[in-house]
Amino acid sequence: MKKSICFLALMAMLAIHIQAQQPNESMLTVHVNEGSTTISKHIYGHFSEHLGRCIYGGIWVGEDADVPNIRGYRKDVFEALKALNIPNLRWPGGCFADEYHWKDGIGPREGRPEMINTHWGGVVEDNSFGTHEFLEFCKLLGTEPVICGNVGSGTVEEMSDWVEYINFDGKSPMTDLRIANGKEEAWGVKYWGVGNESWGCGGNMTPEYYANEYRRYATYARNYGDHKLYKIAGGANSWDLKWTETLMKNVPNWMMDGISLHYYTVPNTWSNKGSATDFDEKDYFVTLKKAGEMDELITQHSTIMDQYDKDKRIALVVDEWGTWYDVEPGSNPGFLYQQNSIRDALVAGLTLNIFNKHADRVRMANIAQTVNVLQAVILTDETRMILTPTYHVFDLYKPHMEALSLPFHLQSPEYTQENEKLHALSASCSKSPDGTINITLVNIDPKNSINLTCTLDGGEAKNVKGRVITSATITDHNTFDEPAKVAPTDFTDVKIAKGKIEAKLPARSLVLLQIK
């Protein structure tokens, strides 16, 4: 009898062990005929601030530089961004925007005044990259510029003049000045931010005070001809719901088109953020958990906005988001230069999936930042350049841009760390104008693959192809000596069986499935 009990116990333990070795199972049902919201391409926007080596050495090197360039713009960076089809680019900040006086950055470069960048490193800003340089860069890229005006240390007249300088084709002092500086026709910039982080580096204002200031500045930021402005009010810092409610209550809906929201994924504390590459699974879990909080954050701000704007006319613009770690050892602390691993790629995929989910309210977002700063998509080192894992995520997600968001139901296994649990799998589904179904999937489980069975409710899967981003370890990242350690490859572990799509999603991976 004792032998039988021991045998049964041994078999039970063996069964548990075998079960533990099996991949997790997941079910996804996509309702292919029920979508009603288009995913704005502007969700996939970028941010370039006069901070560290984002502009100088990143985007701009000057016409006489040894680095190959196109009219002063780094050729390799330009080509990488062009390939990404970036929909918009925000400039000149960030905190820098509220100490930037635009007239210092126009006219002959040799005559432009120098200033100290007090926010970022105390370095000299020579203003060689100004309004003309930025807008011509956007024109070359085929991307929409997003300009953030100076409310913190500027004046209503200064911002009003800037709008006129850029957008007015008639006779005026600002038009004459623009023409004298070599630009005959107006650029016609649509997107304008009225201040940045006015609750902090942009003036340490109360929400009530900023709401009044916004009304003044927005009044004199005028439309010229067909150039109708899309005005973005400076919104909340992460969970400051009062800020959002105060703006919605005190600023008439017709005066603003968007309210910004800033949220950074910081694994530890602001004084000890942690390393971008030297971290363990506990740090990894906390980072992914905090990134996932973007969903609830948007939900709470959107709920407040819904009370005052039931038609969702005003967009929630998440114009600063991404991971923020301690700077790389040996780099200037004020330059915010950090590496970028597969962990950051997973954060980017999770976040973009969340934005797509809330596409009815989130219609613009900007990752911080484009080159050499925070969760950059590109890193440069003198003449060398690398694409980060985050760059490859934006490339992977391009099919969602201007596609119809599709509702879906996802059953996800859990990823457990000590006593906490997260959904291991995140998804986003859309339909392109040609009928292609696009599904992006993020498996944050660092050790276990997931078996996915996908059903198209209202459609039939005839052909499927995929791409995948994954790596051997959670700390893997690209370096200038090994620039393609983390890079997308064709995803072949997928098939159609009995009308359903079956795929095995690797651990710590992002997968794009395209179904016809």
Nearest to 316 by CA among 395, 241, 391, 403: 241
Give the phi and the psi of residue 480 in degrees, each rounded to 5.
Answer: -70, -20
Residue 162 identity: W
Cβ atoms of 240 and 248 within 8 Å: the answer is no
CA-CA distance, 122 to 247, in Å (whole number)?
33
The 3-class secondary structure across 145-181, one letter per residue, is: EEEEECCCCCCHHHHHHHHHHHHCCCCCHHHHHHHHC
Q: What six digits make up the tokens of 405? A: 């968001």
Burial class (CB in 10 A: 0-12, 13-18, 19+), 447: exposed
176, HSE (Cβ side, Cα atoms, 13 Å): 3
Cβ contact 490:374 at 8 Å: no
CA dist 43 and 87 (Å) reads 8
User: Three-state SS for 386?
Assistant: strand
Q: Between helices 389-396 and 75-84, what is the axis angle to 10°?
A: 40
Indicate the Cα dihedral angle 59, 60, 66, 71, nearest 10°. Answer: 110
Catalytic hit among 320, 402, 420, 502: 320
- Please tell me which residue in 136, 197, 281, 502 is annotated as part of the active site: 197
Query: Can 63 be counted among the known catalytic residues?
Result: no
Burial bucket for residue 425 (CB in 10 Å: 0-12, 13-18, 19+) = buried
Q: What is the DSSP string of 249-280?
A: HHS-GGG-SEEEEEEEE-SS-SS----SSS--
Is 320 tagged catalytic? yes
In this structure, are residues 502 and 495 in contact, taking their beta carbons and an 8 Å threshold? yes
By three-state DSSP, how is residue 338 classified? coil
- Of 403, 407, 396, 484, which Cα lies nearest the Cα of 442? 396
331: tokens are 């780099």
* Residue 352 backbone phi and psi in degrees, to 5: -65, -35
Here the tokens at position 350 are 């999770």
- The strand order across the sheet containing 500-505 reads 408-411, 24-31, 450-457, 500-505, 494-497
508 with 455: CB under 8 angstroms? no
> Catalytic residue numbers?
197, 320
